[in-house]
Amino acid sequence: MKTVLTGIKPTGKPHIGNYLGAIMPALKQANSSDTRTLLFIADYHSLTSMHKAEELKAATFEVAATWLACGLDPDKVIIYRQSDIPEIFELSWILSCFTPKGFMNRAHAYKARVQENQEAGKSDLDFGVNMGLYLYPVLMSADILLFDTDTVPVGEDQVQHVEFARDIAQKINHNYKKELLKLPKASIQDSVKTIPGLDGRKMSKSYGNTIPIFETEKKLRKLIMKIVTDSLPPEAPKDPSTSTIFHLYKEFASEKEIAELKALYEKGIGWGEAKQHLFEAVNKEITPLREKYNELCENPQQVEDILQEGAKKARLIAKDKISLLRQTLGL
């Protein structure tokens, strides 16, 4: 059986871009395949930059509740919180003892920070770099290697980290002349769609242009009304192919509804009216999920129980791996 594993860093409220670009495709795959799927909330990765306890706790809960509300079935997917699996940290140390320091100097996130410091004329090029950020790829390698992962679905920016995991695993296997650690492969979805945000750029927390999935109906409508448009008058024909509203509408509406809105664009439609159509389509799809999400928010223990159950399952696998490693390494 193949193992597919991925981690989500809790950094803020999940948005429509995450929902369409990552959550729904992953759930579709997890519900249909005969693979062992592990999905975890990488709270220790967030700790490299999030130093406010309440924020980290809230973000971790939001990610877990979002996946569950969107349909993750804990009987099919092992869902857990990274910090509940101490074996990850044990492996992380082992891996770091086989990782040349120079390797880490090449990590994208670290290099980007150094470059920022250089450009800002800082004399200390490591300004703002904590050891957690520096070792980020080692911890991520431990996440992956602990579970004999075959495939790691990730975005382009994380591919280098999966290669680090392969390289480190190879070094260890070579040293002990044994296939102790499985070499994982990154998988990038072919047609990863880019969902535009309120300003037309890629929807992203870092641009502050997101539509969080589980806003109240009222806030959702208000946000959709903020989508940036041009200043064409209502009666002017409009081009659906360059319209953020239409782009988003296509993701939520039926074929028939899409054709109808397209016809209205060609005839001339006011932006307010187009936005109202979009709001209705999004709200229709999200409403049952929002209800489930709100239910989970009112009953956080339910989420915690699911995470604990997941951690139990994950640790069964993890403990075996660690004991094999300890034996082989002479610990």
What SS3 class is residue 229?
coil
Stretch that binds ligand TRP, among 19-27, 100-108, 152-160, 193-201 (CB under 6 A): 152-160
212 sits near ligand ADP (criterion: CB under 6 A): no
What SS3 class is residue 156?
helix
Nearest alpha carbon to residue 64 among 241, 260, 288, 299: 299
158 sits near ligand TRP (criterion: CB under 6 A): yes
Q: How far is the CB of 48 from ligand ADP (least distance, A)?
A: 14
Output the CA angle 268-274-275, nearest 5 degrees: 155
Q: How far is the CB of 122 from ligand ADP (least distance, A)?
A: 25
Q: Indicate the residue among 169 and 211 with the shorter CB distance to ligand ADP.
A: 211
Q: Indicate the residue among 78 and 203 with the shorter CB distance to ligand ADP.
A: 203
Number of residues engaging ligand TRP in binding (CB under 6 A): 12
56 sits near ligand ADP (criterion: CB under 6 A): no
Written as one letter, the residue type at 240 is P
Residue 248 binding result from ligand TRP, ligand ADP, none, given CB thresholds of 5 to 8 Å by partner type = none
300 sits near ligand ADP (criterion: CB under 6 A): no
Task: Please compute Rg for the chain using Cα positions.
Answer: 22
Q: Indicate the residue among 189 and 229 with the shorter CB distance to ligand ADP.
A: 189
Q: Indicate the residue among 193 and 267 with the shorter CB distance to ligand ADP.
A: 193
Residue 21 binding result from ligand TRP, ligand ADP, none, given CB thresholds of 5 to 8 Å by partner type = ligand ADP
Q: How far is the CB of 36 from ligand ADP (least distance, A)?
A: 20
Of 100, 155, 234, 237, the residue at the interface with ligand ADP (CB under 6 A) is: 155
108 sits near ligand ADP (criterion: CB under 6 A): no
Residues 162, 164, 170, 171: what is their CA dihedral angle, to the nearest 10 degrees?
A: -160
291 and 299 Cβ atoms separated by less than 8 Å:
no
Binding mask 41-60 for ligand TRP (x = CB under 6 A): -x--x---------------
Phi, psi of 292 (to 5 degrees): -65, -40
Closest-approach residue to ligand TRP (CB): 7
154 sits near ligand TRP (criterion: CB under 6 A): yes
DSSP alpha helices (H): ranges in the chain?
16-18, 24-32, 43-46, 53-69, 86-96, 101-105, 108-119, 131-134, 136-145, 159-176, 217-224, 244-252, 255-267, 271-298, 300-329
Round to whole Å and give the CA distance between 113 and 133: 10
191 sits near ligand ADP (criterion: CB under 6 A): no
Nearest alpha carbon to residue 247 among 267, 269, 262, 236: 262
Neighbours of 100 (CB within 10 A): 11
Residues that bind ligand TRP (CB under 6 A): 5-7, 9, 42, 45, 140, 143-144, 152, 154, 158
Residues that bind ligand ADP (CB under 6 A): 17-18, 21-22, 155, 192-195, 202-206
